[in-house]
Amino acid sequence: MKRLLKGGRVVDPANGIDAVHDVLIDDDRIVAVGRDLPVDGAAVVDIPPGFIVCPGFIDMHVHLREPGQEHKETVASGAAAAVAGGFTAVACMPNTTPVNDDANVTAYILAKAAEAGLARVYPIGAVSRGSAGELLADIAELKEAGCVAITDDGHPVATALLLRRAMEYAGMFGMAVIEHCEDSSLKGDGVAHEGYQAAMLGLRGMPGACEALGVERGVLLSELTGSAFHVAHMSARASLRAVRKGKEAGVRVTCEVTPHHFTLTDESLAVPIPYDTNVKMNPPLREAADRDAMLSGIADGSVDAIATDHAPHHYDEKKVEFDRAPFGIVGLETAVSLALDRLVHAGVIRLPRLVELLSVNPARILGVAGGSLSPGTLADVTILAPDLHVRIEANRLRSRSKNTPFDGWQLRGGVAATLVGGRPLFINAEAPIAFG
């Protein structure tokens, strides 16, 4: 069927477009983008003035928990949360049970995604078997089965040697190695950022240097091997410094920052709820100087992508002592509002840059389709209502898990609709667009 999205502000930086334009979609493809396109038998969808039409957002770091931890999330519930959050595609991490280190698990995930028929799911495979850090996983097989990158996320690749080999090998297929950057010995049994807040609350700390050490290691090995290295969930200013230096030297290093790391600081450990386990994640929320560094990297281009590190945990698992709680918070359904409110409306970046961070760059780093509204490409479209008043309510999230520190937050800006392959899979009842 043909649809004409009429009158929205199209922001498509890959094609240099930021203007009020129409978008013509036929079946699952973009046909044309331009001013006052002829209707030509298409169903006309009026886009309210001020709404933004952009290439579908891709969250390149989510944990879907299936297979093995379906009480937290499944591929289906995660994919539903994704489209509700404005994401047309997600890349999911391999630390499932069993670990995604072979074609069978990859195929299982893809089958579940197809069954759900919502956001596209791109599996990321493991670097090592079982992510145990000893032997390389069958990377070619993983690639063949549909993996788009490799990582041992949850922890760093065990040794520099293994990381080097993984980069060399994955480089054969043009795949990036995504790394949870951390020095395990420095991390110890830390549960929070090493700083005044952790000291006050008596929590064991992990300093920013712990992450930066992992970044420096990866940058050097990327330089050595010539392969692509991507820093997952960067949080420390020392890490950003290492990334910038690497980029200046021409190293193929990229990085992502989560919305919670550009919004919150370690003060959240104490207020409003002291020892709130919904504020416990790894890497931890750090001090204001780190958060501000992330904002500056987002603004000046050193940061390539925004990714949520969506980490669902069941309520029971989080309702324990801070030390014992698992790391992580959900993020798919809060990312876009946080980005619009804290980055765009706050004047840190403009919309085209936001689209780069959420669509163009993730597509490029993972080597998947998307990132633009060029004619002929898949019609994955995210429509934003930039002035929508959004109130985040944890118990109304579509994810199976509700572990978010943003419950009750009021933000300006939200998702109006999400189209995957031309089909509107999410329409926000608060900002309704009448699709034919």
Partner 1 sequence: MSGPVIARVDETLAVTSLRSKNLLGIADLAPEEISLILDTAEAMKEIGSRPIKKVPALRGKTVVNLFYEPSTRTRTSFEIAEKRLSADTLNIASVSSSVVKGETLADTALNIEAMQPDMIVLRHPSSGACHLLSRVCRSAIINAGDGMHEHPTQALLDAFTIRERKKQLAGLKVAIVGDLLHSRVLRSNIHLLTKMGADVWVCGPPTLIPTDIARFGVHATSAIDEAVADADVVMLLRIQLERMEGAFFPSLREYFNVFGMTEARLRRAKPDAIIMHPGPMNRGVEIASEVADGPYSVILDQVANGVAVRMAVLYLLAGGAEHETAT
CB of 185 to partner 1, least distance (A): 10
Establish whether 290 is a catalytic residue.
no
CB of 206 to partner 1, least distance (A): 11
Catalytic: which of 101, 152, 309, 341?
309
Select 319 or 391, whichever has its Cβ closest to partner 1.
319
Question: Could you report how far apart the first and last alpha carbons of the chain are, in Å?
Answer: 10
CB of 325 to partner 1, least distance (A): 10
CB-count exposure of residue 174 (10 Å: 0-12, 13-18, 19+): exposed
* Nearest partner of 357 among 342, 376, 377, judged by Cα: 342
The binding site for partner 1 (CB under 8 A) comprises: 188, 194-196, 198-205, 207, 273-275, 316, 319-324
Select 205 or 413, whichever has its Cβ closest to partner 1.
205
Select 172 or 271, whichever has its Cβ closest to partner 1.
271
Select 287 or 356, whichever has its Cβ closest to partner 1.
287
Select 248 or 316, whichever has its Cβ closest to partner 1.
316
Select 210 or 354, whichever has its Cβ closest to partner 1.
210
Select 5 or 206, whichever has its Cβ closest to partner 1.
206
CB of 191 to partner 1, least distance (A): 9
CB of 202 to partner 1, least distance (A): 3
CB of 242 to partner 1, least distance (A): 21
CB of 317 to partner 1, least distance (A): 10
3-state secondary structure the chain: CEEEEEEEEEEEHHHCEEEEEEEEEECCEEEEEECCCCCCCCEEEECCCCCEEEECEEEEEECCCCCCCCCCCCHHHHHHHHHHCCEEEEEECCCCCCCCCCHHHHHHHHHHHHHHCCCEEEECEECEHHHCCCCECCHHHHHHHCCCEEECCCCCCCCHHHHHHHHHHHHCCCCEEEECCCCHHHHCCCCEECCHHHHHHCCCEECHHHHHHHHHHHHHHHHHHCCCEEECCCCCHHHHHHHHHHHHCCCCEEEEECHHHHHCCHHHHCCCCCCCHHHCCCCCCCCHHHHHHHHHHHHHCCCCEECCCECCCCHHHHCCCHHHCCCCCCCCCCHHHHHHHHHHCCCCCCHHHHHHHHHHHHHHHHCCCCCCCCCCCECCEEEEEEEEEEECCHHHCCCCCCCCCCCCCEEEEEEEEEEECCEEEEECCCCCCCCC
CB of 391 to partner 1, least distance (A): 22
Residues 6+ apart with CB under 8 A from 287: 193, 195, 196, 197, 265, 266
99, 350 contact by CB (below 8 A):
no
Distance of alpha carbon 239 from alpha carbon 244, whole angstroms:
9
Select 164 or 313, whichever has its Cβ closest to partner 1.
313
Residues noted as catalytic: 309
